[in-house]
Amino acid sequence: MNPEQFVQELSKHNITLTADQKEQFKLYFKELVAANEHVNLTRITAEDEVYLKHFYDSITPLLVFPEAFKPGAKVCDVGAGAGFPSLPLKLLRPDLQLTIIDSLGKRLTFLQGLIKQLGLTGVELVHSRAEDAGKAAQYREQFDLVTARAVARMSVLSEYCLPLVKVGGQFLALKGPKASEELQTAQGAIKKLGGQISQEVEFKLAASAEERSLILVDKLVATPQKYPRQAGTPAKKPLK
């Protein structure tokens, strides 16, 4: 998917990129590739692949679940890495109030410079483990929507993300192919954390064989205070 095809594909979903937005995505690609020479951000560096597997992939939640992105929503992205999915979403929806949580300082340094270059406002960067952020009063149950992409399996990811979601809000996981089995084993964890699976959608990325799944979880009740557990525990002993 080259930049022109990217624009055309979004237009099919009634999203028309402005000249400034097109330039922002071009700059994002340029900065990503340049920074990747020094910091391990991604193994995907070819332009066509970045536009498909990073930019377009990151935007799919907005295409599939537009109702989840309310005007001015407070969105938290857990383990964003090089800014996916949150920054492509922010480029399309500047009104979103974005918080990015990542445990690696080098990635946040890249994002800090990138955000400045892209001219974005309303973005907070938090250097923290997700488990620690989920215990902190300023982040716990403060967000309308929490996203995560390629971070952990669903049972672990739910403990990272659901404590951050306010009651009545949602958690949106961007997963690879055939996430149904993974989702089955996570049902107990999701319930313990106050959530309930709302929808799962499987699809292929535009004009490719790349399979993806999006999982939307509703936050029904407050997460019990004992969750998230101590940093590292969710991955070692996933909830059942």
46 is in an annotated binding site: no
What is the CATH number assigned to the segment(s) 67-236?
3.40.50.150
When the pLDDT of each residue in the chain is averaged and rounded to a whole number, the result is 95
What does the pLDDT look like over 220-230, one tens digit per residue? 999 999 999 99
149 is in an annotated binding site: yes
84 is in an annotated binding site: yes
What does the pLDDT look like over 56-66, one tens digit per residue? 999 999 999 99
pLDDT for res 207: 78
pLDDT for res 80: 86
Query: pTM of the prediction?
Result: 0.94
| CA separation for the pair 125, 226 (Å, rounded) | 25
What is the domain partition of the chain in residue ranges? 67-236
